[in-house]
Structure 1
Amino acid sequence: MRHEVISCPLDDWFDAYGTFQLTEGELAACAAALEGGAWTGEGPQTWERAGPSLLRNGKFNKFAAPPSERRESENDVFEPLKEIAERLGSVDLGEASDSTEIGLDGVCAVGRAADLPTSGNVSRAGDGMGRRLSSVRWMYDSKPNSAIPGEQSGSTNRVDGYFYCVHQRAKLSLGDVAVICEYKKNGEGAIQNRKQLVGAAAHLFNEDPIRFSIYGITIEDCDVSLWYFCRSHTAKSFPFNFLTDPMSLVKVFVSFMFAPPVSLGFDSNIRRIMPSPRDGRPFISYVYRLPMEDSNGEERVHYYRTRRSISDSHRLCITGRARRVWEVEQVKSFDDLHRVDDKVVVLREVWLDESAPTERQIQQSIFTSLNRFGDKLKDPTYSPPHFSCFDDDLKKEVRALFEEDNSLPPFGPRSNVRRKAYERYFLTIREDFVGQATRDVANNFEPSPLLLRETKSLKTSKFPTVYGADPTRNTQSSAAVHPDRSPIPTPPYDYQVARRYRPKRPDRLIYEENCLDLDDNRIASLKDVFTGLRGCFTASLLLFCAGWVHRDISCGNVLIWTDSDGRKQGKLGDLEYAKPFPSEGGSPDPKTGTAYFMPVEIAKGRHMVPRSATATTTTRSKRPHYAEALTAAQGEVEESKLEEMRTRSENPPKRAVGPVLHDFTHEAECLWWLSLWSVTARLGIWETVRTVFTPFIDTTATQAREMFLMYDNSNFPDLAEELPESLQPVYGCLRVSRRYLQLRFLELAQLDEKARADPAKHSRAFMSIRNLVNVQIPSETPPLVNGSNPFWTILESQGRLKGIELESTTAKRPHPAS
């Protein structure tokens, strides 16, 4: 988080993130109201008494001395801010302005939203600020240590003050809180003050799907700083002294109090629907509006109402992709919640760089590449390099994927074109919509990683604090991963890319298939898990043929879909990380990946190197299970090929270490980790893998995973004793594939980038993983269980993991170009 924070001069902060620009007449009206006057509207110099003076001789009366020099409590010291805000709220900016603009209305606390086009929400530095309202919409309240409501159990947060919607109901709601504030009497608590504000902002982002940005204020003694939080970056202004410069504080308060909701970060394309007995919904739901153009260029709007949350885990970091997945139904409008049809679909939201392609565009590019590859396969004599190590059966299976599949229904603009069989291994995108982007980074900014030395963990409570909260939003994946602040060594080579703080925008997609991921507690058996793995393998094989890498194969992206006839089909989802291989450059933004399944070389940032000539050849298996999943002939072929590779790899030549590109063999490694996780963690077998499947990535965790994969003096052979007899064939294939990966990574490290890009160099990896995922799972396999690594849970409860944030992902460093 600290690497996403920038600071900038106050004027530049207002230019980039301000809600609207106050005129001189409006500022004069505000100053007059604080001095005890009020605008009557009868003439340019006509005033009346509004109450006791709060501002005299250019200073606030009740802040004659700095807070650090006063004996009162912190709460009493800053209590006058509430009176100042109330006086400013009495100002009629419509009368005080020479040219009043009608403001854009937006989303309010409990669901009132304006039907505004997305373009009306966008406010960019350099393009002018947004419009204001003529009357106050938000009022400041000082309630020290007051709790901000939450809809998810396990999360709440407290702030010293906030700006709330004046139209709120009796009880404060999530949508009522627009701006959050934290105070300290002196500067000694500045770091804690900032961390508390960041924690509160993260809480609001986690709890409220309507937010696309959040504003904040911190005061330390006399110094006031303004904050802007979004998925791209966090911006803090240089402080100003509100005792000597009171009008800057007036400008801040008025810019928040008279701002339309969209200017304060409420998305007008989402509305919160509170529980209603007439509606029959016991929980809070949300309606998403997806405007788009049809094939004739005419705008049309679809509305989707959430039924339950599929993925909405807590995130400790504000920036990033912040994925949310909902089960939804199409309704008629924000105000008419009657269903359009009985179809239940899936809505997925993810924040992408403004210039990044959407998932739909990526999928279309992949399909285009696959169609070109399929056209070449029509020539029976054509043998692509991808097939160099494939057996005849796999070649035949791949060719069949490019045939027309009459069982796939026509869909969308391609309704007159018959679909190819390969499409069944990917999700069907019904429609998508790209929302408004976050603000551009301010001019004259400077990175400020030391403003936050660590990220405050969210305080927890046992139950949601909002009535009617949807309990499905509390579901946490056992392998859920969120951005991590644990340090990671800087790679030994220079591939670091300067942070560009690109604006981000939400990409919202509607999927036809309502699937279960591998970690869903509704999956019935390990047999179903391997159905998903086989589908993921086929999709990865297709990406290999298309020349693309997925780069985020994990239990949350491997999906199981059940059709209307009850047949189960594995699919691979979440293509937003996918890129052609090789490709130039990589995004310097933090990635949201899954630590459990990340390739070791990617986590390390460098290629594998052997520890010694015998490090990869020593074995200590207690039981010989090598050939249990193979015939004698197959085992002989495997061992002879591996022995040949072992001989060549015992003393690999040294070479310069360069950037690690996520390649096709890394995709195979992800599937290996997934298969291992499926037969251990998914069955509650943790002893052997307790140091492998840790919910974070740091140096120690990465070394443990490298040891487990690459060296036989690890405890991998102990897995044979832990697994039940029915899964010994899986262990045998895990062992064979592991041996191949051990030696192959050492060979690939000796090649230059051009040679590593040759598909033929990765063909054998897919053959090895194919044997693994195709193992038949017997019916007597133990049942699936749910839960995180108990070893780390015990350490956390004992306080032995201080400084390490569980369920987190890679440290904040650029992702390797791939």
Structure 2
Amino acid sequence: MIQCDSDDFMSQYMPFVPAERVVDESVRLLQNKDLLNERGDDWRWVDGDERKRFQFLVRVSDALRELKLPGRTASCQLVQSPDNYMDSQKPGADFKINAGYALISSSSSQVSAELTSDDTAVTVEYALNLADQKQNWNQLLSGVLYIMNGDPRRMQMFSLSIEHNMMTVWFFSRSHPCMSASFDMRKNNRRCIQVFIAFMFASREELGYDETVQLISTDREWHYGYKVGDRFYRSTRSVFQHHDTRIIGRGTRVWEVVRVKHFDDPTPLDDRSYALKDVWFDEGARTEREIQEALFRDLDLVAQRIDDSDPDIIHVLNGFDEETRAVLRTCVVKRELYSKYFLTINHDWTGPTSKPRAAHAVAVPGVFGVQPSPPVASVPGSDSTRTDPTPMVERAFVPRYQYRVVFDEVGEALHYVDNISVVLSAVQDCLFALQLLFLAGWVHRDISTGNLLWWNGRGLLADLEYAKKFEPSTGGSADPKTGTAFFMAVEIQKQMLIYEPPQPAFISFAEDMANLTAKKKPDPRPLTSVVVHNYEHDLESMFWVLLWIYMARLPHPPVMSELEQYAHSKYEDRTHGMLVDGAESTQAPDSVGPSETQQTGIPLHVLQVIGGIFQNHSGCSDLRYNVIARAGVYSEHISPIFKTDHELVARVFQILVRALRAGYETRKFDIENAATYSPLYATFRQAIQALQAHYEEHRDTYRPLLVYKARETIPPIGRAKPARSAVP
């Protein structure tokens, strides 16, 4: 959180700044209404409980609505709602707010009788006592989090908090939050009046509503309508929404949509479905189309380099087996061949940029007190744990711009696919896509179950937001922890290399002193301490994807009691339960304990090991790190999980662990050595083939994969209840 004085806040963040003559007119109006004293320097405040006292502010708002401002009309009005849970077209609105500025209906010129989160433009929280400030602020944040993360129409949002006589104005956007310095609204009633007018007479767009996203009613059900450039789309289903305990970030949403003529005519133009992605990028960051086009240009260049017998690219190709070399050579020749491994961009649009940070704003840590610790583990994982860049220093809070892209394919994320054979086929295709990136000199940096898709009988590698050229010589990454926490490579998580150079053996004190004094052996470690995301990190992420699917989604038959007892004793202090809601869930996590073992089909000891490896934050547990970095840890903790029928599966993953460890240790610090990566792709391809063959041979031992929140059961936003007869 950052803070600036109220003057800077008014000029930088508020919808507009009412002129002094407007404030003078307002003072006279409020005096005539007996709401200000004759001198105009204090309110005629009504004492009593919270409701009575702050009902006075509602009367002030009602009076100010009579103002006549050139070019502006009242768009919202303050209403109280202290006893009612917020209603919404989106399910899960289970919070209260004390009051809010509710949108005024253009048809009735009135606010809705029932305050909902959909038409609450500004939330207001108040408390009688200054001592309740922290609680009041946290209640405010809770409401803003729900509304901003639940309503795609919100580009930014304002709030007010009042404790006794002290008022604070708040601004929230995907770029940054800012709070004004608190001021005494009785001593500085002119500033209070300015704030009221700035909210009440702001346009909906100034209040943060996106005019290119609207609620659309069809068959008495709500959907969202999107305008992307000159085209209109209507949502039919929510594919992905990124819910977090933060507002700052990309705010990614993905919808299955149909194209329509206009918001007023939501009838589909044809029977095609598309995937629409709505996201906020850092100012200066490339769009997904620009990234994909740059990648494809480099792939086209690969074909030319092969024709020219470029020794560097030939050296890379020679690292693959003969069959893979032949397929890659054929594929890179034509764009229509290699592009089928990626999503097809149909249409995109770049929108407005968020407000920049106030020049004199300063960081104010701990505004909302100690934040709760993240949950330890989550079964679905997928993109619910996407990590945004969060340096451990004061953030610069660069502005973000809005971006939308429409894809031709509506793929099925692997965490929704319940057939292990289909999952393996998709992963095999996506592995080939990673080989294409490798040839072009690119790294993906966000391999996850949400970015590996199954569509029309083939796998697609999606989400190139974080993809970039692998250029370690240009320096370390400014965003070292990109990716999804569940599937992030351990070097990225720990920001330290797995390889450790051997240390000389101790001989004697005298000889060691002589060697150290002479500095015979310089430290071979690189000068930079930043771990640069390399090609093996993408492959390691794919390993974690496969291991998670086999451990957390493949139902396990009961195992012998000795192992169960061992697991209880080994992990009882580390078990914290697991979340079972999918990435789209907005509910509080449900814990999975011993009583739920039968429901999930995952034994307790397996749940405990999963909880020790897959965690909902970008830190790296000792168990996860040691599975890759230390010989024997995989055999001790993971191999026993797989029953006799699946022993081959355990061996396949053990080989992948050995291959990954060998890659890191063989490469040492020479991360630009392309020849050290090539063999890994063949190992992964062979491993996937072995898993597929095992499935074909032992079909009767495989049950459908657990899908903790199937796509078909995720209600489209706005389908929670019948539509109201009128939209404000």
TM-score interval, normalised by the smaller of the two chains? 0.7 to 0.9
Q: How do 1:658-669 and structure 2 match up within 5 A?
A: 658-669=529-540
Q: In 1, Cα distance between the equivalents of 2:478 and 2:370?
A: 21
Q: In 2, Cα distance between the equivalents of 1:53 and 1:783?
A: 68
Quote the residue 2:486 is aligned against.
596
Please give the secondary structure, in 2, of the residue aligned with 1:348: strand
What amino acid is aligned across from residue 310 of structure 1 in structure 2?
Answer: V
Quote the residue 2:34 is aligned against.
52
Residue 450, structure 1, aligned to residue 340, structure 2: no
What amino acid is aligned across from residue 782 of structure 1 in structure 2?
Answer: R
Residue 85, structure 1, aligned to residue 28, structure 2: no
Q: In 2, Cα distance between the equivalents of 1:586 and 1:262?
A: 40
Aligned-pair CA distance for 1:172? 3.2
Cα pair 2:385 2:486 within 8 Å, conserved: no
Residue 384, structure 1, aligned to residue 300, structure 2: no
Aligned-pair CA distance for 1:684? 3.7
Residue 288, structure 1, aligned to residue 220, structure 2: no
Structure 2 unaligned segments of length 5 or more: list them. 106-110, 504-522, 557-601, 710-728
Q: In 1, Cα distance between the equivalents of 2:673 and 2:94?
A: 51
The change in CA–CA distance for 1:334 and 1:655 in structure 2 (over 3 A counts) is: closer
Give deviations 1:292-329, integer Å, cap 9, x for gaps.
Answer: xxxxxxxxx11000011111253221011111111100
What amino acid is aligned across from residue 27 of structure 2 in structure 1?
Answer: A
Aligned-pair CA distance for 1:221? 2.5
Q: Which has more helix, going by share of residues?
A: 2
Q: How do 1:160-199 and structure 2 match up within 5 A?
A: 160-167=98-105, 168-199=111-142
Q: In 1, Cα distance between the equivalents of 2:94 and 2:60?
A: 29
Q: In 2, Cα distance between the equivalents of 1:85 and 1:30?
A: 11
The change in CA–CA distance for 1:596 and 1:425 in structure 2 (over 3 A counts) is: same
Please give the secondary structure, in 2, of the residue aligned with 1:434: strand
Cα pair 1:316 1:455 within 8 Å, conserved: no
Quote the residue 1:393 is aligned against.
323
Q: In 1, Cα distance between the equivalents of 2:165 and 2:224?
A: 41
Cα pair 1:730 1:772 within 8 Å, conserved: no
What amino acid is aligned across from residue 787 of structure 1 in structure 2?
Answer: Y
Aligned-pair CA distance for 1:588? 6.2
Please give the secondary structure, in 1, of the residue aligned with 2:186: coil
Residue 481, structure 1, aligned to residue 481, structure 2: no
The change in CA–CA distance for 1:497 and 1:549 in structure 2 (over 3 A counts) is: farther
The change in CA–CA distance for 1:602 and 1:55 in structure 2 (over 3 A counts) is: farther
Cα pair 1:316 1:482 within 8 Å, conserved: no
The match for 1:703 among 594, 605, 622 is 622
Q: How do 1:203-222 and structure 2 match up within 5 A?
A: 203-222=146-165
Q: In 1, Cα distance between the equivalents of 2:419 and 2:166?
A: 59
Structure 1 unaligned segments of length 5 or more: list them. 37-50, 65-69, 94-99, 103-132, 292-300, 405-418, 459-475, 563-567, 614-651, 789-818
Give deviations 1:498-547, integer Å, cap 9, x for gaps.
Answer: 52211112211111011101011xx2410000111111111111111111
Quote the residue 2:44 is aligned against.
62
What amino acid is aligned across from residue 227 of structure 2 in structure 1?
Answer: R
Q: How many aligned positions are there?
A: 625
Please give the secondary structure, in 1, of the residue aligned with 2:540: helix
Residue 762, structure 1, aligned to residue 656, structure 2: no
Cα pair 2:4 2:361 within 8 Å, conserved: yes
Aligned-pair CA distance for 1:29? 1.1
The match for 2:214 among 259, 271, 280 is 271
Aligned-pair CA distance for 1:707? 2.0
What amino acid is aligned across from residue 533 of structure 2 in structure 1?
Answer: H
The match for 1:556 among 438, 444, 450 is 450
Please give the secondary structure, in 1, of the residue aligned with 2:265: coil
Cα pair 2:477 2:532 within 8 Å, conserved: no
Cα pair 1:138 1:258 within 8 Å, conserved: yes
The change in CA–CA distance for 1:672 and 1:591 in structure 2 (over 3 A counts) is: closer
Quote the residue 2:459 is aligned against.
570
The change in CA–CA distance for 1:599 and 1:483 in structure 2 (over 3 A counts) is: closer
Deviating more after overlay: 182-191 vs 724-733: 724-733
The change in CA–CA distance for 1:457 and 1:151 in structure 2 (over 3 A counts) is: farther
Aligned-pair CA distance for 1:766? 2.0
Q: In 2, Cα distance between the equivalents of 1:285 and 1:536?
A: 32
Q: In 2, Cα distance between the equivalents of 1:586 and 1:248?
A: 47
Give deviations 1:747-792, integer Å, cap 9, x for gaps.
Answer: 44x42xxx3123223223222222222332323332211239xxxx
Q: In 2, Cα distance between the equivalents of 1:589 and 1:573?
A: 20
Identical counterparts, % of pairs: 28
Cα pair 2:171 2:177 within 8 Å, conserved: yes
User: Once superposed, what is the RMSD of the aligned Cα atoms?
Assistant: 2.9
Aligned-pair CA distance for 1:269? 0.5
Q: In 2, Cα distance between the equivalents of 1:517 and 1:248?
A: 51
Quote the residue 1:437 is aligned against.
353
Give deviations 1:431-486, integer Å, cap 9, x for gaps.
Answer: 0011211111112011122212334799xxxxxxxxxxxxxxxxx9553424789x
Q: In 1, Cα distance between the equivalents of 2:273 and 2:659?
A: 43
Please give the secondary structure, in 1, of the residue aligned with 2:44: helix
Cα pair 1:230 1:319 within 8 Å, conserved: yes
What amino acid is aligned across from residue 392 of structure 1 in structure 2?
Answer: E
Give deviations 1:128-161, integer Å, cap 9, x for gaps.
Answer: xxxxx2x211100122254222344444321111
Q: In 1, Cα distance between the equivalents of 2:672 and 2:2?
A: 38
Residue 784, structure 1, aligned to residue 719, structure 2: no
The match for 2:31 among 31, 35, 55 is 35
The change in CA–CA distance for 1:586 and 1:263 in structure 2 (over 3 A counts) is: farther
Q: In 2, Cα distance between the equivalents of 1:32 and 1:222?
A: 22
The change in CA–CA distance for 1:655 and 1:21 in structure 2 (over 3 A counts) is: closer
Please give the secondary structure, in 1, of the residue aligned with 2:266: coil
The change in CA–CA distance for 1:483 and 1:344 in structure 2 (over 3 A counts) is: closer
Length-normalised TM-score, structure 1: 0.72
The change in CA–CA distance for 1:53 and 1:228 in structure 2 (over 3 A counts) is: closer
Q: In 1, Cα distance between the equivalents of 2:16 and 2:526?
A: 57
Q: How do 1:515-526 and structure 2 match up within 5 A?
A: 515-520=411-416, 523-526=417-420
Please give the secondary structure, in 1, of the residue aligned with 2:656: helix
Please give the secondary structure, in 2, of the residue aligned with 1:350: strand
The change in CA–CA distance for 1:214 and 1:205 in structure 2 (over 3 A counts) is: same
The change in CA–CA distance for 1:87 and 1:611 in structure 2 (over 3 A counts) is: farther
Cα pair 2:627 2:657 within 8 Å, conserved: no
Q: In 1, Cα distance between the equivalents of 2:310 and 2:354?
A: 52
Give deviations 1:555-594, integer Å, cap 9, x for gaps.
Answer: 00000011xxxxx101110101111112657786797742
Q: In 1, Cα distance between the equivalents of 2:7 and 2:419?
A: 60
Cα pair 1:225 1:239 within 8 Å, conserved: yes
Residue 499, structure 1, aligned to residue 387, structure 2: no
What amino acid is aligned across from residue 534 of structure 1 in structure 2?
Answer: Q
What amino acid is aligned across from residue 688 of structure 2 in structure 1?
Answer: V
Residue 138, structure 1, aligned to residue 28, structure 2: no
What amino acid is aligned across from residue 488 of structure 2 in structure 1?
Answer: M
The match for 1:694 among 614, 628, 631 is 614
Aligned-pair CA distance for 1:716? 4.2
Q: In 1, Cα distance between the equivalents of 2:315 and 2:370?
A: 49
Q: How do 1:660-809 and structure 2 match up within 5 A?
A: 660-685=531-556, 687-688=605-606, 689-697=609-617, 699=619, 701-714=620-633, 716-725=635-644, 727-748=646-667, 750-751=668-669, 755-775=670-690, 776=692, 777-778=695-696, 779-780=699-700, 781-787=702-708
Aligned-pair CA distance for 1:250? 0.3
The change in CA–CA distance for 1:302 and 1:654 in structure 2 (over 3 A counts) is: closer
Please give the secondary structure, in 1, of the residue aligned with 2:384: coil
The change in CA–CA distance for 1:757 and 1:738 in structure 2 (over 3 A counts) is: same
